[in-house]
């Protein structure tokens, strides 16, 4: 029965995909309007926490994802979705959640900016590397003949350019940037949420058929993401605010980017798309729960 996930595709027309690309670029632009060059320089004053965050995001989480895939042995398309989500940079709501949890907001903003820039190169690389280590998913990649240079270009256009433009505008027009981000962030998130809902509604039969497994797969994978950040923070002996931030940053992934890549290069492959779409919903729920817990129990270490 699980073979249906590998053989099905989610319906999503080219016009909707174009608007999804635009909304994701707007989200990234809104995030960048909060960034300053000084935020990147601030990393030099806190290099240990920054290093732990980068290791957690781009090495530890993809590795744990590979271990998780070997353990649960999901259908190949589901495994591809997990590898792709793990290869994506941190999600845009992580800054808000870190602030809510009374974490290190400056570290969160810096990690978001750096991980987004690094993702232009590391998202295609990590996805190809870890998906290639799992034979069933590697077979799909060979059949599709995915061009990783094309993936690199897509990530650069959707994330890299809006990020750089947003930082430049903020450096020149800080007052305008503060006003614009208050509008752009909630608007772009609402647009993205609407498209996730449309993806589910248009394919509700497939989703309902596998809701139990999908929930467990994403729940387990998301817990690994949160555990990755928390564990690295403990290994690096970081203080509580930095621990909160690393946990949230690693557990909140840019699944919107994952959806764009899935519909662009994999024709909305069923298992991949459902995993990424449900991630987009679940990581906000889990991240909000953890942020509220930490907000109300600041003394617990």
Place of tokens 């991240």: 287
The Cα 126–Cα 119 span in angstroms is: 9
Give dist(CA 285, CA 258) in Å, integer.
18
Q: Does 195 have pLDDT greater than 60?
A: yes
Instruction: Locate 2 and state its tokens.
Output: 């699980």
Is 197 among the domain residues?
A: yes
87 domain-assigned: yes
- Determine the Cα–Cα distance for residues 96 and 288; give it in Å rounded to an integer: 10
Q: Which two tokens stand for residue 176?
A: 């305008």
pLDDT of 89: 87
Q: Which of 261, 221, 247, 255 is nearest to 301 (CA)?
A: 247
Give the pLDDT confidence of 153-165 residue by residue, as tens digits: 888 888 888 888 8
Residue 60 falls within a domain, yes or no? Answer: yes
- Name the pLDDT band for 81 (thresholds 50, 70, 90): very high
Domain encompassing residue 91? 40-158+191-296
CB–CB of 36/181 below 8 Å? no
Tokens of 85: 């989500």
For residue 21, being part of any structural domain is answered with no
pLDDT tens readout for residues 23-72: 777 777 777 777 776 666 667 777 888 899 999 999 999 999 999 999 99
Contact 130, 136 (CB under 8 A): no
Query: Residue 289's pLDDT is what?
Result: 93
Residue 266 lies in a domain: yes
Percent of the chain with pLDDT over 70: 86
pTM of the model: 0.88
Give the number of domains in the chain.
Answer: 1
Residue 40 contacts residue 117 (beta carbons within 8 Å)? no
Residue 231 near residue 243, CB atoms below 8 Å: no
- C-alpha–C-alpha distance, residues 70 and 47, integer Å: 33
Q: What is the CATH number of the domain that holds 116?
A: 1.20.1530.20
pLDDT of 114 reads 81
Calculate Rg over the CA atoms of the chain.
18
The mean pLDDT of 79-90, rounded to a whole number, is 92
Lowest-pLDDT choice from 116-125, 138-147, 228-237: 138-147
d(CA 114, CA 6): 34
Instruction: Look at residue 257 in the predicted model and tell me its pLDDT.
Output: 84
Q: What is the pLDDT of residue 47?
A: 86
- Domain assignment of residue 277, yes or no: yes
On whether residue 185 sits in a domain, the answer given is no
205 in any annotated domain = yes
Token output for 83: 């590898």
Q: What is the mean pLDDT of residues 259-285?
A: 85
What pLDDT is recorded for position 112?
Answer: 80
What pLDDT was estimated at residue 83? 96
In this prediction, residue 183 carries a pLDDT of 78
């Amino acid at each position: 029965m699980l073979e249906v996930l590998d053989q099905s595709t989610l319906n999503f027309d080219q016009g909707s995909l174009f608007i999804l690309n635009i909304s994701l670029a707007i989200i990234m632009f809104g995030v960048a309007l909060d960034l300053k060059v000084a935020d990147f320089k601030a990393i030099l004053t806190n290099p240990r926490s920054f290093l732990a965050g980068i290791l957690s995001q781009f090495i530890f989480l993809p590795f744990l994802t590979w271990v998780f895939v070997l353990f649960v042995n999901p259908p190949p398309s589901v495994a591809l979705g997990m590898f792709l989500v793990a290869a994506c940079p941190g999600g845009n709501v992580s800054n808000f959640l870190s602030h809510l949890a009374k974490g290190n907001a400056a570290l969160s903003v810096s990690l978001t900016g750096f991980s987004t820039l690094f993702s232009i190169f590391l998202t295609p690389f990590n996805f190809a590397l870890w998906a290639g280590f799992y034979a069933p998913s590697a077979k799909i990649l060979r059949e599709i003949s995915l061009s990783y240079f094309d993936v690199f270009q897509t990530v650069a256009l959707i994330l890299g350019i809006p990020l750089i433009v947003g930082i430049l505008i903020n450096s020149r027009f800080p007052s305008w940037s503060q006003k614009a981000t208050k509008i752009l962030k909630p608007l772009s998130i609402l647009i993205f949420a609407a498209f996730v809902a449309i993806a589910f509604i248009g394919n509700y039969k497939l989703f309902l058929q596998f809701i139990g497994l999908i929930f467990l797969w994403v729940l387990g994978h998301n817990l690994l993401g949160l555990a990755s950040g928390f564990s690295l923070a403990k290994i690096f002996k970081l203080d509580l605010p930095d621990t909160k931030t690393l946990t949230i940053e690693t557990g909140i992934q840019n699944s919107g980017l994952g959806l764009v890549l899935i519909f662009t290069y994999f024709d909305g492959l069923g298992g991949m798309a459902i995993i990424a779409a449900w991630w987009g919903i679940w990581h906000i729920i889990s991240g909000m729960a953890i942020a509220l817990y930490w907000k109300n129990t600041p003394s617990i270490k």
